[in-house]
Amino acid sequence: MNNKSKYTAAAAQLGPIDPSEPKESVVARMLNLLIEAKTKGTELVVFPELCLTTFFPRYYITDPANLDTYYESEVPISLMSDMFELVRKEKIIISFGYAERDNGIPFNTSVYVDSSGNIVGKYRKIHLPGHYEYEPDRPFQHLEKRYFTKGNLGFPTFDTTLGRLGMCICNDRRWPETYRVLALQGCEVVTLGYNTPKHYPLAPEHDHLQEFHNHLCMQAAAYANGMWVIASAKAGLEDNCELIGGSCIISPRGEIVAEANTTMDELVVAQIDLNECTLIRENIFDFNFDIYIPLYIYIYYIFFY
Ligand code: CDV
């Protein structure tokens, strides 16, 4: 693969999506961001988690027909054909999240589509937060555990012309092992999308720290694993639920090199240099597999046997 070590990348943050907004309208907004990305010479564009609709795990939906409308049985190629055409023509790689039903099994999924116009990578969310049943005391629900099955693809990495890429989704980003598992496979750029309410009903004491915790976990992981993180929010006031913004691009030094200024549709752009991964991995955190893999196996045995 003819790898580029330097290129322009973007987090394509989306503002709120009202439950009444049709998918066609959302995709038109995504296309606008992609056109802007193209004019800025961007080669990798990351859209948020479950980005084709409102964040529906917020609702307790009892009508199966209504619930069905949120899922795709396959990547909605015809709905997104203008975007895929642009991706092909301009040789861009995009990632975006959607609710998938694979033979009836529901997953919170993210994919890469590359300049061939094909789906070249898929990830299904592993850390599913929230609850299974309706909880009347909450101001809004978080029913990811009810609506999705735990991802069954592990944390795969994908060799592309823009380096070795890997995905995680929203709550996955708070768990250090997500990044370490990707990094041990040589991942250089982690792309992720999120829907994070400002108010967390289980620990409202932390509400004022939501933006801080968002960046804290990703900055620490970028540094500790020597990799780039591109994080894209669905942000703003979505049907009365405030979602944090803060979409950003973080270097392997742990620094935020570009960040959203709004909670609306916004493109956050930065230059990626994959050599910076090597700088950290060769000088600070040297992933010498011979040394570390036995250590990880040892730790695994201590904790799980
Ligand atoms: N979509 C998410 O996974 N949201 C969680 C919230 C519920 C804490 C998050 O980790 O941001």
Q: Tell me, what's the pLDDT at 291?
A: 66
Residues 6+ apart with CB under 8 A from 198: 207, 210, 242, 243, 244
Question: How do residues 150-163 score in pLDDT, each as one tens digit?
Answer: 999 999 999 999 99
Q: Tell me, what's the pLDDT at 298?
A: 75
Q: Which of 110, 144, 170 to mutate to test the pocket of ligand 1 (most atoms within 8 A of CB)?
A: 170
Map residue 163 onto helix, strand or coil: strand
Ligand 1 nearest-atom number relative to CA 49:
1
d(CA 35, CA 161): 21
Cβ–ligand 1 contact at 23 (below 6 Å): no
Q: Tell me, what's the pLDDT at 2?
A: 60
Ligand 1 nearest-atom number relative to CA 127:
3
Catalytic residue status for 217:
no
Ligand 1 nearest-atom number relative to CA 195:
1
Q: Tell me, what's the pLDDT at 262?
A: 98
Q: For the whole prediction, is pTM greater than 0.75?
A: yes
b/e 47-82 (16+ beta carbons within 10 angstroms → b): bbbbbbbbbbbbbebeeeeebeebbbeebeeeebee
Catalytic residue status for 122:
no
- What's the full length of the chain, in residues? 305
Cβ–ligand 1 contact at 142 (below 6 Å): yes
Cβ–ligand 1 contact at 194 (below 6 Å): yes
pLDDT by position in tens, the chain (length 305): 668 999 999 999 999 999 999 999 999 999 999 999 999 999 999 999 999 999 999 999 999 999 999 999 999 999 999 999 999 999 999 999 999 999 999 999 999 999 898 999 999 999 999 999 999 999 999 999 999 999 999 999 999 999 999 999 999 999 999 999 999 999 999 999 999 999 999 999 999 999 999 999 999 999 999 999 999 999 999 999 999 999 999 999 999 999 999 999 999 999 999 999 999 999 999 887 666 677 777 776 776 66
Q: Do 87 and 114 meet the contact criterion of CB atoms below 8 Å apart?
A: yes
Q: Tell me, what's the pLDDT at 70?
A: 98
Q: Which of 196, 211, 214, 217 to mutate to test the pocket of ligand 1 (most atoms within 8 A of CB)?
A: 196
Cβ–ligand 1 contact at 156 (below 6 Å): no
Closest CA to 72 of 96, 42, 92: 96
Question: How do residues 33-66 score in pLDDT, each as one tens digit?
Answer: 999 999 999 999 999 999 999 999 999 999 999 9
Find the angle CA(121)-CA(150)-CA(111) to the nearest 5 degrees: 20
Q: Tell me, what's the pLDDT at 198?
A: 98
Closest CA to 179 of 130, 145, 228: 228
Catalytic residue status for 51:
no
- Residue whose CA is at the smallest distance from ligand 1 atom 11: 196
